[in-house]
């Protein structure tokens, strides 16, 4: 048996005409759905908050707040954006259909309802919603794990938040596409997720790693890639996870890629990652000034480790940022981003500590 179908789904029917609501309610009750009703836009918004429905049948024309507005608001909210919305429109109302798509509606039905059509669409959208939720939860699990690993590592502090911030502004500075910027930002959280597979005596070792310990540590990029690979939405982040320790001259790991063979997004991420590590305080070193950090990056570039053009861009970006030119500033990214991308990132370590698994 498919467990998706074994839970009763809840449907919200929104229409200002009681008679229209009754028809839909009657048809859906027969199908075994739980029904909630609302007679207006604002009542619908309240209902959604309280009842958390699996699908909404939404009339377009309602006095006060129309269906488009209701849909628009729900699709913008993190809590409600995954609830499928079927608009109820008049037959052949092309303009309404276009507007409905524009404000995020998922499907349309015309009155009077065709029983079979209503039933088929509702069923398929509810199923789709459950799958989307599962994917959403899987993503959140990965981000939580990444966050938790970070907080166990005495070296990193709030490294990830800062990486997300810098990734956004530097990505925009380089004119990268929206999806690339998103991947860079996700990389900020996820690049070292593979450290979950590194034993504590290596990961948390104080002092230098010996060569066999290094070999173990290097595995984190491959482990991380394996962890994130099954999720299609992670595809763009995989090159960052796998290749963020490659070097321009081919002396890096895991593949020893050289020059432009290293995926560009991984090169960009690496420069940000290193810069942040240099400018942050670590147990074994004080924070370097931006100027000093750029100097070290330049030295590493001369040694052949980094892409000279990219490091040049990065240096002028940092200098501009610190001179306040071009209104570049950071600090907004990590705060505004989790909301926009739908990922709130809890750190689970306090929970784990409470359970007594860590010291």
Judged by the rule CB under 6 A, the positions of this chain that interact with ligand SIN are 192, 217, 220, 245
Q: Which is nearer to ligand SIN, 220 or 242 (CB)?
A: 220
Alpha carbon distances (Å) from 233 to 53, 77, 284, 288? 25, 20, 37, 36
225 is an interface residue for Fe ion by CB under 5 A: no
Taking CB within 5 to 8 Å according to partner kind, which of Fe ion, ligand SIN, none is near residue 106? none
Q: State the minimum distance, in angstroms, from the CB of residue 229 to ligand SIN.
A: 19
Q: Which is nearer to Fe ion, 106 or 192 (CB)?
A: 192
Q: Which is nearer to ligand SIN, 165 or 276 (CB)?
A: 276
Q: Please report which helix (H) or strand (E) contains residue 12, including its range.
A: strand 10-14
Please tell me the count of residues contacting Fe ion according to CB under 5 A: 1
Query: What residues form DSSP beta bridges with 57?
Result: 13, 86
Residue 206 phi/psi, 5° resolution?
-90, 135
Q: Which is nearer to ligand SIN, 54 or 192 (CB)?
A: 192
Cβ–Cβ contacts within 10 Å for residue 30, how many?
10
Taking CB within 5 to 8 Å according to partner kind, which of Fe ion, ligand SIN, none is near residue 246? none
Taking CB within 5 to 8 Å according to partner kind, which of ligand SIN, Fe ion, none is near residue 217? ligand SIN
Report strand pairing: 55-59 vs 10-14: parallel
Q: State the minimum distance, in angstroms, from the CB of residue 252 to ligand SIN.
A: 9
Q: Which is nearer to ligand SIN, 153 or 295 (CB)?
A: 153
Q: State the minimum distance, in angstroms, from the CB of residue 132 to ligand SIN.
A: 32
Q: Which is nearer to ligand SIN, 100 or 224 (CB)?
A: 224
Give exposure, 157-187, as e/b (b: 16+ Cβ within 10 Å). Answer: bebbbbbbbbbbbbbebbebeeebbbbbbbb
Taking CB within 5 to 8 Å according to partner kind, which of ligand SIN, Fe ion, none is near residue 161? none
Q: Which is nearer to ligand SIN, 13 or 198 (CB)?
A: 198
Query: What residues form DSSP beta bridges with 182?
Result: none
Q: What is the largest CA-CA distance in the chain?
A: 77
Over the window 291 to 310, marking each residue x when it contacts Fe ion by CB under 5 A and - when it does not, the resulting string is: --------------------
Unique residue bearing structure tokens 């199923």: 127
165 is an interface residue for Fe ion by CB under 5 A: no
Q: State the minimum distance, in angstroms, from the CB of residue 295 to Fe ion.
A: 23
Report which DSSP code applies to 136.
H
Over the window 179 to 198, marking each residue x when it contacts Fe ion by CB under 5 A and - when it does not, the resulting string is: -------------x------
150 is an interface residue for Fe ion by CB under 5 A: no
Taking CB within 5 to 8 Å according to partner kind, which of ligand SIN, Fe ion, none is near residue 72? none
Active site residue 195: yes
Alpha carbon distances (Å) from 198 to 194, 206, 214, 215, 256? 7, 15, 11, 11, 21
246 is an interface residue for Fe ion by CB under 5 A: no
CA-based radius of gyration for the chain: 25
Residue 19 phi/psi, 5° resolution?
-65, -40
Annotated catalytic residue within 111, 123, 129, 195: 195
Q: State the minimum distance, in angstroms, from the CB of residue 245 to ligand SIN.
A: 5
Taking CB within 5 to 8 Å according to partner kind, which of ligand SIN, Fe ion, none is near residue 88? none
276 is an interface residue for Fe ion by CB under 5 A: no
Rounded Cα distance between 57 and 67, Å, is 10
- Alpha-helical (H) ranges within the chain are 3-6, 18-30, 41-51, 67-76, 94-102, 115-152, 159-173, 178-190, 200-203, 211-218, 220-228, 238-243, 264-279, 290-302, 308-323, 333-341, 349-354
Q: State the minimum distance, in angstroms, from the CB of residue 252 to Fe ion.
A: 11
Q: Which residues contact residue 64 at a Cβ distance below 8 angstroms, ignoring those fewer than 6 apart?
A: 40, 41, 42
Q: State the minimum distance, in angstroms, from the CB of residue 220 to ligand SIN.
A: 6
Contact positions toward Fe ion, by CB under 5 A?
Answer: 192
Active-site residue list: 195
């Amino acid at each position: 048996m498919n467990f998706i179908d074994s839970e009763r789904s809840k449907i919200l029917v929104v229409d200002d005409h009681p008679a229209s609501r009754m028809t839909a309610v009657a048809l859906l009750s027969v199908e075994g759905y739980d029904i909630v009703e609302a007679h207006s836009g604002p009542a619908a918004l309240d209902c959604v908050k309280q009842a958390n429905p699996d699908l909404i049948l939404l009339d377009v024309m309602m006095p006060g707040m129309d269906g488009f507005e209701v849909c628009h608001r729900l699709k913008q909210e993190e809590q409600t954006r995954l609830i499928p919305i079927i608009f109820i429109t008049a037959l052949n109302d092309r303009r309404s259909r276009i507007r409905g798509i524009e404000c995020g509606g998922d499907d349309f039905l015309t009155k009077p309802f065709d029983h079979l059509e209503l039933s088929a669409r509702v069923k398929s959208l509810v199923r789709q919603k459950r799958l989307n939720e599962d994917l959403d939860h899987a993503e959140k699990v990965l981000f939580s794990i990444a966050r938790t690993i970070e907080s166990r590592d005495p070296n990193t502090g709030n490294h990830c938040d800062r990486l997300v911030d810098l990734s956004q502004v530097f990505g925009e500075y380089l004119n990268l596409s929206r999806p690339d910027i998103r991947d860079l930002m996700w990389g900020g959280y996820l690049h070292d997720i593979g450290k979950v597979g590194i034993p504590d005596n290596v990961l948390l070792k104080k002092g230098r790693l010996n060569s066999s310990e290094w070999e173990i540590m290097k595995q984190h990029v491959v482990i991380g890639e394996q962890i994130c690979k099954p999720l299609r939405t992670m595809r763009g982040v995989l090159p960052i996870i796998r290749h963020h320790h490659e070097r321009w001259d081919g002396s890096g790991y895991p593949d020893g890629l050289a020059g432009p063979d290293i995926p560009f997004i991984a090169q960009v991420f690496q420069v940000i990652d290193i810069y942040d590590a240099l400018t942050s305080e670590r147990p074994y070193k004080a924070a370097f000034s931006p100027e000093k950090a750029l100097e070290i990056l330049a030295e590493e570039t001369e040694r052949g480790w980094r892409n000279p053009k990219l490091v040049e861009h990065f240096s002028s970006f940092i200098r501009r940022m610190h001179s306040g030119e071009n209104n570049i500033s950071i600090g907004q990214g990590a705060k505004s981003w989790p909301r926009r991308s739908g990922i709130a990132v809890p750190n689970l370590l306090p929970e784990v500590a409470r359970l007594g698994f860590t010291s």
